[in-house]
């Protein structure tokens, strides 16, 4: 299955991109780096610049219907930049409209809030997003990973890099079931 990994041009937390990416590839999926600009993205290790990664497809050209699932890595700046880009928000919303699974970690649910897809859902995130999620009509829980199947698709969320093992296991199980 082709899996879109959506990031802004800078600010993605490197481990929250590379760890799920490697897990998806090892499980036989095809991870695809989608961004709002072509070229490369700049990853970070918390606030320090880390590696760069080549963008495979650009939002606006890439469409949700060419992917089986979506992964939203975190980092503070990454989802904050994505939620201000109308094309990125529409791209995320399309996965929900098409009933495709979505996985988001750490601060990534900010983009989900902007896409107006958390209403009626239960999810987890970095704790500072709790109020934003509640204000958007979602229920926030403090758990390693949460799978919510409210609506036609499943939403897998996780809090932070320390939860990556649980996050990987959960989204790989959901993606495998979606692949059939």
**What's the rounded Cα separation, in Å, for the pair 179 and 117?**
22
Distance (Å, rounded) from C-alpha 33 to C-alpha 106?
18
- Yes or no: say if 124 and 143 are a contact pair by the CB < 8 Å rule: yes
Q: For residue 178, which phi and psi values (nearest 5 degrees)?
A: -70, -35
Q: What are the residue ranges of helices labelled H in the chain? A: 14-26, 77-82, 86-97, 109-114, 130-135, 164-179
Positions annotated as catalytic residues are: 106-107
Q: Taking CA 90 as the corner, what is the angle to CA 140 and CA 111, rounded to the nearest 5 degrees?
A: 30
What is the distance between the alpha carbons of residues 146 and 156, in angstroms, rounded to a whole number?
6
What one-character DSSP code corresponds to residue 63? Answer: -
């Amino acid at each position: 299955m082709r899996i879109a990994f959506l990031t802004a041009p800078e600010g993605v937390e490197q481990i929250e991109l590379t760890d799920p990416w490697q897990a998806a590839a090892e499980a036989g999926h095809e991870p695809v780096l989608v961004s709002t600009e072509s070229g490369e993205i700049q990853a970070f290790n918390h606030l320090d610049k880390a590696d760069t990664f080549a963008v495979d497809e650009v939002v606006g050209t890439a469409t949700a219907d060419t992917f089986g699932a979506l992964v939203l890595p975190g980092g503070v700046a990454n989802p904050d930049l994505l939620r201000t880009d109308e094309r990125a928000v529409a791209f995320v919303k399309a996965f929900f409209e098409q009933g495709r699974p979505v996985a988001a970690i750490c601060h990534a649910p900010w983009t989900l809030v902007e896409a107006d897809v958390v209403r009626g859902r239960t999810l987890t995130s970095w704790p500072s997003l709790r109020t934003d999620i509640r204000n958007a009509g979602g229920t926030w829980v403090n758990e390693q990973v949460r799978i919510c199947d409210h609506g036609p698709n499943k939403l897998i969320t996780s809090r932070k890099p320390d939860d990556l093992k649980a996050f990987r296991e959960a989204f790989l199980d959901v993606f495998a079931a979606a692949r059939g």
